[in-house]
Amino acid sequence: MRTPALFVLLALSLGAMAGEIDQTTALQVMQRPDAVVIDVRTAEEFAEGALPGARRIETPDLARRIGTIAPDKDTPVVLYCRSGRRSSAAQEVLEDLGYSQVINAGGYDQLAALLQRN
């Protein structure tokens, strides 16, 4: 029982460097009830499909809006976009704001396919 929790804590403490995609950790963190999942794609992309529970906030709006969604800067935040590039930029924004558990999950299509398999 403790092994999965320890693995998640270890993964979060090691963390990926800003910009690096870490879908394995993202999938694990998304199972946590306190995790926030943010889709940084456009409204049109979001309308074509999104992960369950994801909130859409484009990167330019993230600094202004994150405080209402995740006021605690230790909240685990999972970001995704189409390819991982915009979510990487969003990860930098959040880390610059002091968020400590930010994971770049990369592209929506790959992530959605992984979620379907699990």
pTM of the predicted model as reported, rounded to 2 decimal places: 0.84
Query: What pLDDT score does 118 carry?
Result: 76
Q: Which domains does the chain have, with CATH numbers?
A: 2-117 (3.40.250.10)
Residue 6 binned pLDDT confidence (cut-offs 50, 70, 90) = very low
Query: Catalytic site residues?
Result: 81
Q: What is the pLDDT of residues 73-112, one digit of tens each?
A: 999 999 999 999 999 999 999 999 999 999 999 999 999 9
Query: What pLDDT score does 17 carry?
Result: 55
Count Cβ atoms within 10 A of the Cβ of residue 21 and give its class: 0-12 exposed, 13-18 middle, 19 or more buried: buried
